[in-house]
Structure formats: C-alpha cells, structure tokens
Chain A
Amino acid sequence: MSDQLGSSKSGAVDQLNGNNAGSDKAKPLLIGDENNSSSSISIDDEDDSDKASLVAPTIDEMLSKIDETTLANLDKPMMVRKYQHEDCSTPEWFEHSKHVFIFSLSGKPIYSRYGDEVQLNTFMATLSAMSSFVESQKDELRYINAGAFKFVFLHRDPLCLVSIYNTSEPPQIVSAQLEYMHALVVSMLTQTNMKAVFDAKYDLRDLLGGTDKFLDNLMKTIDNDTSILLNSVNCLRLNYNTRNEITTIIHNNRHESVLFALLVAGNKLVSFVKQKKYSLKPQDIHIVMNFVSSTSSFRESETWTPICLPNFNDAGFLHLYICYIMPDVCLLLFSAQAEAFYHLSSSKDAIVKELESRNLLEELSKAVQNHGYSVEATGVPYLLHFIQNETVMVAVASSHELYATFSPLESKQNVFDSFSQLLQWIKDNESNIYNPFLKILKD
C-alpha cells in the first residue's frame, strides 16, 4: 500500500471532472418540517447539571426520515461527486495529498474523500485489518510512517477514521482533523443511534446517504482554517458597539425555549447568545457552520431541522432554526422543543425588525464586505503573518495567545520589537477584533 502510494507520484495529474459536485440541487438529509421532526430532547426541570437529558429518537424515526428524503430525491438526477470515478486502480487517485477514509469497525466502507467508497471497500478492509492486528495484541494503532506518507488512525467506536497524507503536518494535527470529521458524523446520527444501527449490523451508509458533501466541505475547511487548529472560532471584525447592540437585540427578542442563538456570516461568528447553564464548544459551532454553509437551499427559506451537537450531548438531537436574514448573514436558533418553529420564526421577525430600525443590517453588511486584517494595517515591520486566539470565552486582557511569523533570517531584536508593536496594535483595536463573542447579559 505504502509502496503504491509512494511509487505512483509520476502518474497522471489530478483529474477534475466538470460535474457540479457542489450543485445547488442537493437536498439536505436531515431536514424535517414541524410535522415530522421527532421530539428528541427534553430538559429536566430539576437538573442543574449542564447536560440536558436527551431522549434519542428511535431508529424507526431515523429511518422513516431517511426514507422521505430518499423518496423526495427520486425524481432528481443523482449528483456526481468530483473524483467519484477514481479508486486504487487509477493512477490519479494516488496523487491526492490527503486522503480520508471512514469505515465501521467491521471494515465496511462509509466514506472516502476521493473516489467511490464501494470501489474502495477492499482497501478499507485492509486498513481495518491493519488496525485489528494491532488491536488483537491489546494495543492501538495510531500512526504509521511509510516513506513520504503518514497513516493516522482514529478509533471511535463503532467507527474508524484514517487519513493517509503526504503534507508536512504532524500526526497530532491530522488526528484532530479526524476528530472533527467524526463529530460531523455524530451530528447527523447521534452516537446512540450510530451504535444501535451498528449493533443491529445495519450498513451505516444507509443512514448517511447524501451526506458526502458535508464531509467533503468540512475537510476542505479544516485544511485551510487555523481556528480549528487553535480550537477556536473566527469572529467577524465589527465595531464594538454595533456588535453589542446586535447581541442585545437577539437576546431580548429570542423565544424562551432558545438554548443558543448564533448570528454567523459565512464561517465567521457575529454574535452569540446562550442560556447560562449551557455552553457550546468551538467544535460544535464549526460543525453547525459547516452544515449551514454546505447547503445552499437554506438561503431560500426558513428551515427547521434536527441536529446533534456532539460536545453538548451526543445522545440526542436539538432542533435548529435556520434563516438567512441577509444574503450572507444567517441566524441560527437552537431549541429543545420540536414544535417551537413558529415561535422561533416570530423571534426572527422581531430581531430583523429591530436590527433594521436601528440601521444595524447596513453596518453588518459593510462589515461582511470589509472583513479581514492585512499585515500592513498593523504597521509592524518584518511581520509576515499573525494569528490571535482568545483563550477564554469571557474576555480578560491577559488570556490571549498570539502567533506571528517572521522571516527565518530576522534578528531576534527585530522580532521582539515587532512583536511588542503588534501586541500594542491589537490592544488598540481589541474592541473591534473579537471579544463580544460571548456576551453575558443581565436579565
């Protein structure tokens, strides 16, 4: 296997086919309307812990939902993925620099980033045999170095995720990326259902039909997004007062069943409101943003869909209200109540109305277009790149991480001076860069 990967470098170049892999026609898997979405989460009055008690939907419910989606898709042409025709018998398949495979612990294929997973079923069986061999010696296979390629294995019962890559990333980073892919699968099925389906020897692909796109997109994002590396979320650059006002408006107008409210612009967070006893991990926020941005039909209407937030509770679904209030700005409201759709829709109307009356939509639209900082804007000499991470949710001045890149030939003194200058610049601009991410409001 490794030999094949290594020796095929001289093969054909990546073949891009013209099919519209990201087509607008795609139908999201988990969309249910208020009539058929299952009620799956209930919040216990007595429970003060920060885990809501969830009731997982039964497999029957899951399957019936899938079936409806399948039926709805019958009259649509099947979407062809990019690279779908490739497998380990085509030279171009070996040219990709980072493969990702997901299969069940029994060695049955679920997903391949490149190529058709069914055609690759013996390849994945081989990977699972490699991992089984080590497992039978009461150990766990994590990494393999094979020439220019590395194999990274991530075991998450009942799944195994493997990446084979020749980028220079360390295995720990790639392993963290596989964690994200796993979280995405859980967000679509819940861990409870996944185990039940696996134990019943069902082919998990039946339940994941049509979700390649989410996995493909997330992998693309992960590959390019430093915020995932730092376990954080990118925030939209916005005037401090503007953001404050927006957050307050969302807070004041949200329906009482709303657990979390997020306003996002692309994959950037604008505003975040939550109930005090619950919190949302960056990973869950990324999963949701990926879900929303992967489905262009969300742009056209209000949507109500069940989704599992793996770090919040991987046993059941929450209900998510999705509505684009502006072309690139989307309001997301999470509720535990399956029948809260109309309440949340009215909340949205009230929020939009107030944002409009205070001219905040216009400001937001400007911010969306002007997002980004250039290195030049900081006025810091010698600086090539910088990344900053707010390590705690509530802003405290000393809790930031700052990463900066300079030329390797730069003198220590220069680097030091520039770094101090950059810090000062960030301090001066702090209020616009982030911080309002989590605003704890007084009731």
Chain B
Amino acid sequence: MATKKKVLLKVIILGDTGVGKTSLMNQYVNKKFSNQYKATIGADFLTKELMVDDRVVTMQIWDTAGQERFQSLGVAFYRGADCCVLVYDVNVAKTFENLDSWRDEFLIQAGPRDPDNFPFVVLGNKIDLENQRVVSQKRAASWCQSKGNIPYFETSAKEAINVEQAFQTIAKNAIKLEDGLVFPIPPGIQVQPEQTQTKSSCC
C-alpha cells in the first residue's frame, strides 16, 4: 500500500467446459500451451501486470471451472468483478449458444450497478482448427452487437493468435468502468453546519 495509486482489476473468465479458458490464460500469462486437457476444479488464479495508457495495471484473473460439478463458489466468486470474459469454441455450436446463459448467470450473480454497460469481452477460441469451424464470425459478431456492442475477438490459445490483443482490450474496458466512477474532487471541503455543543456534564 504505497501512496502511489495502483489499479488492480478482477477479471472473470466464463464459458463451457473444454473451450480453452485455462489455455487462453496460460498463453497470455505464461506464454505456454499444452494439448493435454485438465479440468479446472473450482477456480484457478493467475496475475499479470500490463500497461494501459501509461498506467501500470495488475490483472487478477479468475479462471473458473466450466464443468457444472466443479462450480461451487457461489455469489462471492463474481463479486466485485471489473470485467467478464466469455469464451466459446468456434468449432462447437453448443458452446456458442450457451453464451447467453453464461452472461445472464454473471449478471444475476454479480449484480453490477449498471448491467447494460458492464464490460464483457467475447472470445471465439480454437480458430486454428479452421476446417472444423461451425460458428461463423458474422454470427458471433452479430450476437455481440445485439448485447450492447461487446468487443469480439477470434483467438487461438495454441497459436497465440489475438490473445495479447484480447486481454489488452479487457483491461482497457475494465479501467474505463473504474475511471467513469471517479468522483470529482471538490474545490474545498464543505463544512457541515455545526449544532450547538451540549454543555459538558460531568457528575
């Protein structure tokens, strides 16, 4: 807690099981990718420092379990999130169709003050498997537009395509929300009118 103002953003990654949430995070933070699938149990946490418009920002990334049986963290998990990242697999239609319920789930659980303007980012992952693709870019983009112009990125955690850019946007949008909340600093502190002091009454 030094006196310098720091920004720490809580970012939550949601999406169906196996869409590559953990892989995206690992690619972004550790620059590593593994083909082996390992289910996330409960949650996993990673952190990364980055620069956004000359500001040092620390991202605290909450990687969640996509599998329902591991989703047991409840409301507290979503509380105070600065940005929510929705991930789907461009090669599996169901994972795209479920984005709606992930988004709703988040809005219900987190209860942000201004749900219409809460920063989401959508990532269509696994674009390296181009010949298996079932969800078109156009379809995804139009869904994002209908939900209040959510930024959309097509990514590959494996090939490190668009991962850096996506997280940069995530941070930028999350900060915008913080900045929007900055209270104007008044010219001088207003002094409340004082009531007359009770005469001290010691027995």
Q: Check A135 for interface membership: any CB of B closer than 8 A.
A: yes
B163 to chain A minimum Cβ distance, whole angstroms, is: 19
B62 to chain A minimum Cβ distance, whole angstroms, is: 7
B residues less than 8 Å from A210 (CB atoms)? 1-3
B interface: dominant SS: loop
A59 to B60, CA, bound (A): 26
Known: A60-B183, A60-B185, A209-B4. A135 touches B76 (CB 8 A): yes
Known: A60-B186, A104-B80, A256-B199. A205 touches B46 (CB 8 A): no
A201 to B182, CA, bound (A): 10
Q: Check B131 for interface membership: any CB of A closer than 8 A.
A: no
Q: Check B195 for interface membership: any CB of A closer than 8 A.
A: yes
Contact of A202 among B46, B181, B199 (CB under 8 A): B181
A16 to chain B minimum Cβ distance, whole angstroms, is: 20
Q: Check B54 for interface membership: any CB of A closer than 8 A.
A: no
Q: Check A181 for interface membership: any CB of B closer than 8 A.
A: no
A211 to B58, CA, bound (A): 21
A128 to B62, CA, bound (A): 11
Q: Check A350 for interface membership: any CB of B closer than 8 A.
A: no
A residues less than 8 Å from B190 (CB atoms)? 38, 61
A268 to B73, CA, bound (A): 46
B residues less than 8 Å from A203 (CB atoms)? 6-8, 178
Of A109-117, A375-383, A407-415, A424-432, the one contacting chain B is A109-117
Contact, CB under 8 Å: A105 / B8: no
Known: A105-B76, A129-B43, A132-B73. A211 touches B1 (CB 8 A): yes
Q: Check A43 for interface membership: any CB of B closer than 8 A.
A: yes
Contact, CB under 8 Å: B47 / A277: no
Contact, CB under 8 Å: B2 / A108: no
A212 to B58, CA, bound (A): 20
B residues less than 8 Å from A57 (CB atoms)? 189
A200 to B186, CA, bound (A): 18
Contact, CB under 8 Å: B195 / A61: no
A208 to B47, CA, bound (A): 22
A42 to B181, CA, bound (A): 29
Contact, CB under 8 Å: B1 / A208: yes
Query: Which A residues between 254 and 282 are near B, CB-CB below 8 angstroms?
Result: 256-258, 275-277
Contact of B8 among A59, A121, A251 (CB under 8 A): A121
Contact of A40 among B3, B73, B192, B199 (CB under 8 A): B192
Q: Check A363 for interface membership: any CB of B closer than 8 A.
A: no
Query: Which A residues between 9 and 51 are near B, CB-CB below 8 angstroms?
Result: 36-40, 42-45
Please report the total number of A residues contacting B with Cβ < 8 Å: 71
Contact of B60 among A44, A111, A122, A276 (CB under 8 A): A122
A131 to B80, CA, bound (A): 15
Of A65-73, A236-244, A321-329, A354-362, the one contacting chain B is A65-73
Known: A106-B10, A108-B80, A209-B2. A38 touches B45 (CB 8 A): no
A135 to B113, CA, bound (A): 23
**Which residue of B is nearest A259, CB measured?**
B200
Contact, CB under 8 Å: B3 / A136: no
A residues less than 8 Å from B81 (CB atoms)? 106
A206 to B6, CA, bound (A): 7
B2 to chain A minimum Cβ distance, whole angstroms, is: 6
Of A91-99, A286-294, A296-304, A435-443, the one contacting chain B is A435-443
Q: Check A55 for interface membership: any CB of B closer than 8 A.
A: yes
A residues less than 8 Å from B196 (CB atoms)? 45
B residues less than 8 Å from A402 (CB atoms)? none
B124 to chain A minimum Cβ distance, whole angstroms, is: 27
Considering the complex of A and B, which 9 residue pairs feature the smallest CB-CB distances, nearest first? A106-B80, A136-B74, A132-B76, A122-B45, A209-B3, A210-B3, A125-B45, A39-B191, A42-B195
5 residue pairs bridging A and B, Cβ less than 8 Å apart: A60-B185, A63-B185, A125-B45, A205-B1, A256-B199
Given contacts A129-B73, A209-B3, A209-B5, 7 further A-B contacts (CB under 8 A): A36-B188, A57-B189, A78-B3, A106-B80, A106-B81, A121-B8, A202-B178
